[in-house]
Homo-oligomer: A and B are copies of this chain.
Amino acid sequence: MKFNATNVRASASAADLIFEALREAIFTGEIEAGEHLRQDALAEMFNTSRIPVREALSRLEQQGLVKTERYRGTTVTSLSVDEVREIFEFRALLEGEVIRYAVENMDDATLDVARRACDAFATETDSAKYGDLNRDFHYALYAKAERPYHLKIVNQALDRIESYLRAQLVLTNGMERARREHLGILEACVERDAAKAAQLTRDHILGASASLIQFLEKRDSAK
């Protein structure tokens, strides 16, 4: 486990930096589910005292990414297959609704932004960036929904399964299919067909869920 905190903006507090670094490390899988995080080890790693480390861990816990037990330490929470499935199901419900709202307010400038985000995602080769670029595309469309609370919750759900999403995209055909489905959603938005965009978004999410879960179950049964 190694961290690189230099890529985060310097204006933030130490707790912010540690929070972001840990979050990213959990997303990439650099910190695995179940791994024990000790406060003084992290403090030494980031050259700080345990105080900002504790604050970062507390925030991660509030997000559900870790769990702290007194005198026992902090562990990265793992998700069962059922939990992963449920979160995808939740996303399908929520994001389907969000894009319905968005299509009703869709304008050409927004579609341009989304198109560029779609291209950027499709041509990216660094798998570490898949997650952010995927969000960029969807959020470009969702922005016009003008539902900030809904989007905050979508974001939170994505955070919870970000590491799984990244794993899914590097599966065989994961990127290829995501790229194709993104184009379909974009096309529905261009046609201002809200129902179609919503349906394709739900399919996109549930399809990714199905292939990911198939992978997870195969992996688990192999162990």
Show the binding face of A for B, using Cβ within 8 Å: 13, 15, 51, 54-55, 58-59, 62-64, 70, 83, 86-87, 89-90, 93-94, 97, 147-150, 152-153, 156-157
**What separation, in Å, do the CA atoms of A87 and B151 have in the docked complex?**
11
Query: Which of the residues B59, B94, B147 comes within 8 Å of A62, measured between beta carbons?
Result: B59
**What separation, in Å, do the CA atoms of A93 and B16 have in the docked complex?**
33
**What separation, in Å, do the CA atoms of A52 and B136 have in the docked complex?**
37
Asked, given contacts A13-B70, A63-B62, A70-B13, whether A150 binds B90 with beta carbons under 8 Å apart, the answer is: yes
**What separation, in Å, do the CA atoms of A87 and B97 have in the docked complex?**
14
Residues of B contacting A147 with CB < 8 Å? Answer: 86, 89-90
Residues of B contacting A89 with CB < 8 Å? Answer: 147
Instruction: Verify B87–A149 contact, CB threshold 8 A.
Output: yes
A147 nearest CB neighbor, chain B only: B86
**What separation, in Å, do the CA atoms of A133 and B170 have in the docked complex?**
47
A160 nearest CB neighbor, chain B only: B149
Residues of B contacting A150 with CB < 8 Å? Answer: 86, 90
Instruction: Verify A90–B55 contact, CB threshold 8 A.
Output: no
A79 nearest CB neighbor, chain B only: B149
**What separation, in Å, do the CA atoms of A11 and B150 have in the docked complex?**
35
A60 nearest CB neighbor, chain B only: B62
**What separation, in Å, do the CA atoms of A97 and B54 have in the docked complex?**
37
**What separation, in Å, do the CA atoms of A90 and B54 have in the docked complex?**
32
